[in-house]
Amino acid sequence: MNRVFLFLPLVIFLVMGLYFGLGLRQDPSAIPSQQIDRPLPEFDLPGIADGEPGLSSADLVGQVSLLNVFGSWCPPCAIEHPMLMQISRSGRVPIYGVDWRDRPGDGAAWLARHGNPFARVGDDPQGRLAIDLGITGAPETFVIDQEGRVRFHHVGIVDETVWRDTLLPVIVALEAE
Amino acid sequence: MIAELGQFALILAFVVALFQSVAIFAGLRTGDAVVHGFARTGAIAQFVLVLAAFACLTWLFAVSDFTALVVAENSHTDKPMLYKLTGVWGNHEGSMLLWALILTGYTGALAWSAKPVEARLISLTFAVQSLITAAFTAFLLFTSNPFARLWPGPENGQDLNPLLQDPGLASHPPMLYAGYVGFSITFSFALAALIDGRVDARWARIVRPWALAAWTFLTIGIALGASWAYYELGWGGWWAWDPVENASLMPWLAGTAFIHSLRVMEKRDTLKAWTILLALLTFALSMAGAFLVRSGVLTSVHAFAVDPERGVFILAILVALIGGSLLIYGLRAGLLKPTGVFSGISRESTLLVNNLVLAAACGLVFFGTFYPLFITTVSDETITIGAPFYNNTFNPMLGALLVLVPVSGMLAWKRGRLMPVLKDLAPAALAALAGGVAAFWIADRGLVAGALGTGLAIWIALGVLIDLAKRFKLFQIEFRASLARAARLPLGIWGMAVAHFGLAVVVFAITGVSAWKQETSAFLMPGQHLDIRQLTLTLDDVEQVEGANYVAERGYLTARRDQQVVSNLVAERRHYPVRGMATTESAIHARLTGDIYVTIGQPNPERGWPVFVYIYPFAIWLWIGSAILGLGGLLSIADQGRRALGVGRSPVPIRAKPEVAE
Amino acid sequence: MRPMARLLLLTMLPLLLLSASPAMATPGPDERMADEALEVRARALYRSLRCVVCQSQSIDESNAPLALDMRAVVRERLLAGDSDVEVRAWLRSDYGEYVLMMPPVQGNTLFLWLFPVIALVGGGILLVFFVRSQSARAAQPLDMNEEAELARLRDEEAQS
């Protein structure tokens, strides 16, 4: 029996072990966003209450903006909300909202209670737009450039650190283009 | 108090195991005979200590002592006593303690049953086994303490996941672990033999009953898990190629290859390096399975609460134990020289093919399970490897291997002739062909898959029967003489025949359940019905009921064929308030020809209750076939008692006769 | 693990489990398509698409809200006349290869797909070599001990 062959199992095992060790640092449920550098899918969502204007893909063209997917049923969205209010009050970039899978009226009531940071809100009760955006949960936030292309996709809560260290640099870079 | 006692017992067990391992390794260098005696005592001591710890934990669950963290997280006073007790292993810490219990249980069993022969090998085996025990008890003590306290104890606990509150789940983990962990003994035997420098047919004879025992438990454990999934999950799914399911399949595949290659080693004193490697890898796969479930590396419906800290510890154990053993393998396996030979056409060569395909299949499942992990560590991509992949790769491989089964049993050892075997099996081939064609004609769905599966099952089943008939010369000599021969046939042969027959039954059941299943669903108000094939299912009534720790909606249904009542069915949808989870209790009417499987869902106020009906042809044979498979394993274990080490055989004068197919 | 962190993890656990509740999976009767042929295609497609928020389940087996929506998208696309390939491509463009239950045959999955062939063929070659090499061993002449043993056995045979 060739010496080389006999040590092969050990070598293969050590290589696997290395991968496993590296794998411990990964989040197995995180999937990479497919939307980066793609134009937003065309959509035209109705408003979340009677008389309210909705949100369409045309609204996001012309300036760098944020698109935030939320729902009244989503606790982390409530946690993130004050930060969105802060960004909205500062006027740095407009924020547009997508009300995902809410029953009629729930989204509007929630915004009335917590405050509305959104320039416009679209109602997506069936989650069609969410699927087209590759959403897996709420909240998720996109950075859209002047031409209406998705340039960044953040999964999870936007807090002070995320805004300052992750989103703002992207926004600044896009505005410079 | 009890918790502290349990913790103390566990610490002692760790110390004894570590000490025993070191002492034996050191003692054997100096050739100390006292060491051999101590090995036995130490082994039993380890088992008693871990058993004490386990008893303490069980006590804590039984009395619902919520100052114990594990009990607080996984139990509740309203839970029925059975599930309080089985909840001991329904969580990470408790199940690890069960692992340790079974590990030391096997060590103790070896101490009790080992004969005074091969003292050096046995002592080395104890040393390795104790090292493994020390590693796992350390894991328990340092990262997963089952006896951690929670002060102040809460009023009540968080209850057990309702899915786990089921009799099937009482039996599934212990049986599975008895399988998984059983291969630790064969691992220890293999490593001991490598260190000792001697592997021969004698070693194979000693190890085989242990390998068979572990294999039998693992087979039954997997079958129990699959049957639990079938009955509990609400739609009759029994295998999902979920990573944790794969983690039990891999040791099973390697273990099956192992018990077959052991036989070749027994007969021909060859394939030594390969068999030792299989022994090491089978347990390595068991441990890798433990890594999977507890480290958060992969997502799975089975996974325990994730904790990377544990993952690092287990990875360290894996690297030390498996890496160490493979290193010793590389250094020492070169000493293992085969002495026997066999021809290209022989039973040995078919078993070699068996090993090849099983090893390839095991490798396939391994890569299928871990490939997404590998990809994410080197790139940004993620992929999914699910059932469709395995259906296209694994199934054909195993199907092709199964064709070989009847041929293998009938080929002679050492040098066989293929043509006579094929001639003898011709009736089975014809029957298989006829059966396949019949299945193709009669069925109205899954035509090709159904035909192939039916043909394969008949081929194996009849092949086994023809093999047996030849062995006791049925129809060739007087019937009574045949019976006498049958009674004298070694249990090992019966074991093989029964196991392979069980395999045929399982193949047929899988075919029925997969290729010919039917389903339909509809919203029903009480009084309404839906139709599936010739059956009419009427929803008679729905009422609210209360259980020990749940509230349920219970639906009463009647199944009729041609106005005749076939069965009354009761299906429930339960809601467990403490955990906020819902489960379904399906109504299953099991007949030999198939199951009628009914589930009800959440009602819609306007439209009624959604009722799901499934027809699973021959489903019950999945479980019957698995039991037959297990029985085959038990018969084979029983055989070893008489033949091990040549005890009980009168010396036979050497005659110059060609080897008879045995 | 510190009790506080452990309790935090526990409170999150129900949320995680909620997304993968096995109670009442498979599409409901309100999801059946009117056209039987389309319904068969839809079910096959569900089984080939992964529920992206569940733990290794297809959208056929999960009733997570997102799975329901994904099934609805499949039905919409089928009604719009898409082929099976096009429906899968649609969801693939939204979620990437992760959403396919069977990995596509491409550069980074080539090893996986070729593995069975490599293993069987490679192993088969090794097997043949091994069996062949045995005959070399069998053809070797007996050594002194074996000659003596053979002579002894022949004597015994002659005497019995």
| DSSP string of B113-144, one letter each residue | H--SSSHHHHHHHHHHHHHHHHHHHHHHHHH-
C:122-151 residues touching chain B, CB 8 A cutoff = 123-124, 127, 130-132, 134-135, 137-138
Q: Do B215 and B302 fall into the same domain?
A: yes
Q: Do C128 and C62 fall into the same domain?
A: no
Residue C65 inside a domain? The answer is yes
Q: Which of B488, B516, B544 is the last residue of a domain?
A: B516
Chain C's closest residue to B341, CA to CA, is C134
Q: Which of C85, C104, C123 is the last residue of a domain?
A: C104
Residue C70's pLDDT band (boundaries 50, 70, 90)? very high
Q: Do C70 and C119 fall into the same domain?
A: no
Nearest by CB to B381, which of A10, A16, A32? A32
Residue C80 has pLDDT above 80, yes or no: yes
Q: Do B5 and B117 fall into the same domain?
A: yes
Contact criterion met (CB < 8 Å) for A131 and C69: yes
Nearest by CB to C101, which of B341, B388, B607? B388
Q: Do B137 and B218 fall into the same domain?
A: no
Q: Do B127 and B137 fall into the same domain?
A: yes
Chain C's closest residue to B74, CA to CA, is C10
Average pLDDT score over chain A: 89
- Is residue B364 within 8 A of residue B394, CB to CB? The reply is yes
Q: Which residues of chain B have pLDDT under 50?
A: 301, 643-657, 659-662
Task: Provide the number of structural domains found in chain B.
Answer: 4
Domain that holds residue B559: 518-620
Residue C3's pLDDT band (boundaries 50, 70, 90)? very low
Would you state the pLDDT for residue B287? 87
Q: Which of B99, B134, B160 is the last residue of a domain?
A: B160
Model confidence pLDDT, tens digit, residues B11-20: 999 999 999 8
Residue B168 inside a domain? The answer is no
CB-CB neighbors (< 8 A) of B296 in chain A = 24, 28
Residue B89 inside a domain? The answer is yes
Q: Do C27 and C100 fall into the same domain?
A: yes
Q: Do B382 and B245 fall into the same domain?
A: yes
Q: Do C51 and C89 fall into the same domain?
A: yes
Residue B635 inside a domain? The answer is no
Given the candidates 3.40.640.10, 1.20.1440.230, 3.40.1390.10, 3.40.30.10, the CATH classification of the domain at A34-176 is 3.40.30.10
Minimal CA separation from B510 to chain A, in Å: 32
Structure token pair of residue B662: 């045995």
pTM equals 0.89
Q: Do C53 and C93 fall into the same domain?
A: yes
What ipTM was assigned to the predicted interfaces of this complex?
0.85
* Segment among A36-45, A137-146, B41-50, C10-19 with least mean pLDDT: C10-19
Q: Do C125 and C97 fall into the same domain?
A: no
Q: Do B363 and B477 fall into the same domain?
A: no
Q: Do B180 and B321 fall into the same domain?
A: yes
Contact criterion met (CB < 8 Å) for A24 and B315: yes
Would you state the pLDDT for residue B295? 67
Contact criterion met (CB < 8 Å) for B329 and A10: yes
The residue with tokens 């070893």 is B640
Task: Provide the number of structural domains found in chain C.
Answer: 2
Residue C10 has pLDDT above 60, yes or no: no
Q: In the predicted model, what is the mean pLDDT of residues A121-146?
A: 92
Model confidence pLDDT, tens digit, residues B136-184: 999 999 888 888 888 777 878 777 677 777 777 778 889 999 998 999 9
Contact criterion met (CB < 8 Å) for A136 and C96: no
Would you state the pLDDT for residue B65? 83
Pairing of strands A120-124, A95-100: parallel
Would you state the pLDDT for residue C1? 42
Residue B553 gets which letter from DSSP?
E
C:95-114 residues touching chain A, CB 8 A cutoff = 95-96, 98
Residue C67 inside a domain? The answer is yes
Q: Do C155 and C134 fall into the same domain?
A: yes
A139 Rama class: left (phi>0) / alpha (psi -120 to 50) / beta: beta
Q: Do C122 and C94 fall into the same domain?
A: no
User: Which one is predicted more confidently, C16 or A130?
Assistant: A130
**Residue A19 touches chain B, beta carbons under 8 Å:** yes
User: CA distances (Å), B347 to each of B350, B352, B415, C122, in order?
Assistant: 5, 9, 8, 21
Q: Do C26 and C96 fall into the same domain?
A: yes
CB-CB neighbors (< 8 A) of B389 in chain C = 101-103
Cβ–Cβ pairs < 8 A, chains B and C: 174
Q: Do C46 and C92 fall into the same domain?
A: yes
Domain that holds residue C92: 22-104
B230 Rama class: left (phi>0) / alpha (psi -120 to 50) / beta: alpha
Residue B320 gets which letter from DSSP?
I
Nearest by CB to C94, which of A29, A32, A34? A34
Find which of B281, B328, B382 to mutate to test the A interface (most A CBs within 10 Å of its CB).
B382
Q: Do B330 and B193 fall into the same domain?
A: yes
Chain B's closest residue to A24, CA to CA, is B297
Q: Do B152 and B203 fall into the same domain?
A: no
Angle in degrees, CA B333, B337, B339, rounded to 5: 155
Contact criterion met (CB < 8 Å) for A127 and C98: no
Would you state the pLDDT for residue B297? 60
CB-CB neighbors (< 8 A) of B307 in chain C = 1
Residue C16 inside a domain? The answer is no
Q: Do C53 and C126 fall into the same domain?
A: no
Nearest by CB to C48, which of B161, B237, B388? B388
Nearest by CB to A28, which of B297, B327, B380? B297
User: CA distances (Å), B8 to each of A133, B99, C89, in order?
Assistant: 55, 18, 59
Q: Do B248 and B368 fall into the same domain?
A: yes
**Residue B273 touches chain A, beta carbons under 8 Å:** yes
Nearest by CB to A1, which of B273, B311, B381? B273
C:53-112 residues touching chain B, CB 8 A cutoff = 54-58, 61, 96-103, 108-109, 111-112
Q: Which chains touch C (3 or more CB pairs under 8 A)?
A: A, B
Contact criterion met (CB < 8 Å) for A1 and B333: yes
E strand or H helix at B190: helix B183-196
User: Could you give the count of Cα atoms lying within 13 Å of A161 in the half-sphere of its Cβ?
Assistant: 2
CB-CB neighbors (< 8 A) of B270 in chain A = none
CATH number of the CATH domain containing C61: 1.10.8.640
**Residue B292 touches chain A, beta carbons under 8 Å:** no
- Is residue B448 within 8 A of residue B425, CB to CB? The reply is no
Q: Do B506 and B531 fall into the same domain?
A: no
Domain spans, chain A: 34-176
Q: In the predicted model, what is the mean pLDDT of residues A89-113?
A: 93
Residue B649 inside a domain? The answer is no
Would you state the pLDDT for residue B405? 95
Would you state the pLDDT for residue B261? 95
In 3D, which of A138, A152, A95 has the Cα closest to residue A119?
Answer: A95
In 3D, which of A148, A170, A150, A165 has the Cα closest to residue A63?
Answer: A148
Q: Do B389 and B441 fall into the same domain?
A: no
- Is residue B329 within 8 A of residue B276, CB to CB? The reply is yes
Minimal CA separation from B373 to chain A, in Å: 6
Contact criterion met (CB < 8 Å) for B521 and C101: no
